[in-house]
Structure formats: C-alpha cells, structure tokens
C-alpha cells in the first residue's frame, strides 16, 4: 500500500514537472532576459520622450539630416494599419500572441531563436502597455531622406522587426541534429 502511494506521488510530481517544462525550457532564461531588457529600454525611452522632452507638446526635433524625433500615436496594429478605437482588443491580441511565443520559447532548441523570441515578446509587451496606459502606442523615431519618408516607430518596433528577421534567418540556417 505504501509503495502504491509513493508511486502515485512520484507519478504526480513527474506530471507536474512535465507541465512546467511546457512553459520553461533550457533557453527560456535568455529569452526572458532579452524580453525584460527590451521592455525596460522601450518604456524608459517613451518616458523620456513624453515626460522629459515633452515631444507630444512640441514640433519634431531634428537629430541628423535623415532622423528626427517626431511624436505619433499609433492606434493601429502595425505601421498604423487596421486603426481602431478598441485598443483593449489589440492588447488582448498582443497578450495571446505573447503566450504563444512564450510556449515556443520554452521549446526553443537554439540560442538565436530564443533571443529572437525574447526580442519579439519584449517589444509586444512594451507596445501593449502603451495601449493600456495611453490608448495608443507612442512612436517617435522618424527616418527620412529628401522626399522619402519612413514610418515613425519606437524601440519596441525595432525589437519586433529584428526578432522576426532573426527567426527567419534561424529557420533557414542548417542546424546539427538534436541529441535525444
């Protein structure tokens, strides 16, 4: 009887550990550290732009002949596309996507993919927090040259784009077979 109870407890512990491993893998720490770094840097830059520079109350500031600090509030999904007043729908969408990316991170087999997922998660959470706090995403970097003008973006956007590029690159890279 005691052996049966002990076996049941061991089985229960094994099931709990297996469930926990779905949400934390060997490279999760790398992804979480990068996500936290991106999130912190993004929020710090937005605080600086909004509270110290007061960019939302002044005209654009020329930094170089091709880069300005210019305030824009993005109510859309990406690059102002699919603009909506239902910001909480976009917040929930960001959180669902982040949860899926988190599970992917827990299963990541290569440091590059874990780093890429961390960049995307940190950027997505940074922009989601903006939507909660301000009802839109604070964008402030404007690149241009002559009559050419790029979208206004922020650090979270850069991290998301870099993460996606790294994921695509990692997907096309040949990898050594994984050990069992």
Distances (CA, A) of 137 to 79, 125, 140: 10, 11, 10
Residue 157 is a catalytic residue: yes
The C-alpha atoms of residue 40 and residue 156 are separated, in whole angstroms, by 10
> Of the residues 42, 68, 130, 139, which is catalytic?
139
> Of the residues 42, 68, 130, 157, which is catalytic?
157
The C-alpha atoms of residue 62 and residue 42 are separated, in whole angstroms, by 21
Structural contact between residues 159 and 123, judged by C-beta atoms closer than 8 angstroms: yes
The C-alpha atoms of residue 53 and residue 104 are separated, in whole angstroms, by 38
Structural contact between residues 103 and 126, judged by C-beta atoms closer than 8 angstroms: no
Residue 170 is a catalytic residue: no
Question: Annotated catalytic sites, by residue?
Answer: 139, 157
């Amino acid at each position: 009887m005691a052996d049966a109870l002990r076996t049941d407890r061991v089985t229960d512990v094994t099931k709990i550990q297996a469930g926990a491993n779905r949400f934390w893998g060997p490279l999760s720490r790398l992804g979480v550290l990068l996500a936290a770094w991106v999130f912190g840097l993004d929020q710090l830059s937005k605080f600086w732009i909004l509270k110290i520079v007061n960019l939302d109350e002044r005209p654009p500031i020329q930094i170089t002949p091709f880069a300005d600090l210019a305030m824009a509030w993005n109510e859309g999904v990406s690059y102002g596309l699919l603009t909506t007043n239902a910001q909480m729908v976009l917040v929930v969408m960001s959180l669902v996507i982040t949860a899926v990316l988190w599970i992917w991170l827990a299963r990541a087999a290569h440091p590059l993919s874990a780093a890429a997922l961390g960049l995307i998660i940190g950027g997505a959470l940074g922009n989601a927090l903006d939507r909660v706090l301000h009802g839109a995403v604070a964008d402030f970097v404007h690149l241009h040259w002559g009559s050419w003008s790029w979208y206004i973006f922020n650090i979270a956007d850069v991290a998301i784009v870099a993460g996606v590029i790294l994921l695509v690159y990692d997907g096309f890279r040949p990898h050594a077979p994984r050990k069992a």
